[in-house]
Amino acid sequence: MASTTVTVGSRVGLHARPAGLIAEAAGELDSEVLIGVPGDEPVDASSALLIMTLGASCGDTVEVSGENEADVAAIAAMVAKDLDA
C-alpha cells in the first residue's frame, strides 16, 4: 500500500470547494484512495462529505494512501495545492 504525508495547502482547509475538487478527481481514478488525519480512521477520498468531516485546516498534515502509487501521488498533489484560489 502506497502512502504519503502532505500538508493541506488550501487557505480554507479541506472544506467544500477543495473537498469537492479532490473527491471528483478521486472518483475518476481506477483505485480507491483514502485521506486521513494521523491517528484517526482514513476516509474515502471520492466523498467530499467524508473529506470535510476530517476537519483539516490549512497547514494541517494528512496522510493519503491507496493501492496505486500514481493515484496516491495525484491526490496528494491536489491536497497540497490551494484549491480555493
Q: What is the CATH number of the domain that holds 19?
A: 3.30.1340.10
* CA 20/CA 10 separation, integer angstroms: 12
**Does residue 64 form part of some domain?**
yes
* CA 48/CA 10 separation, integer angstroms: 15
What's the rounded mean pLDDT across residues 34-54?
97
**Does residue 85 form part of some domain?**
no
Mean pLDDT, the chain, as a whole number?
96
**Catalytic-role residue among 14, 15, 56, 75:** 15
pLDDT attached to residue 31: 97
pLDDT attached to residue 84: 83
Counting the structural domains of the chain, the total is 1
**Does residue 72 form part of some domain?**
yes
**Residue 15 falls in the annotated catalytic set:** yes
**Does residue 17 form part of some domain?**
yes
Range of the domain at 68: 2-80
How much is the CA Rg of the chain, to the nearest whole Å? Answer: 11
**Does residue 76 form part of some domain?**
yes
Question: What percentage of residues in the chain have a pLDDT greater than 70?
Answer: 100
* CA 37/CA 42 separation, integer angstroms: 7
Assess whether pLDDT exceeds 80 at residue 85: no
pLDDT digits (tens, 9 = 90+) for 7-35: 999 999 999 999 999 999 999 999 999 99
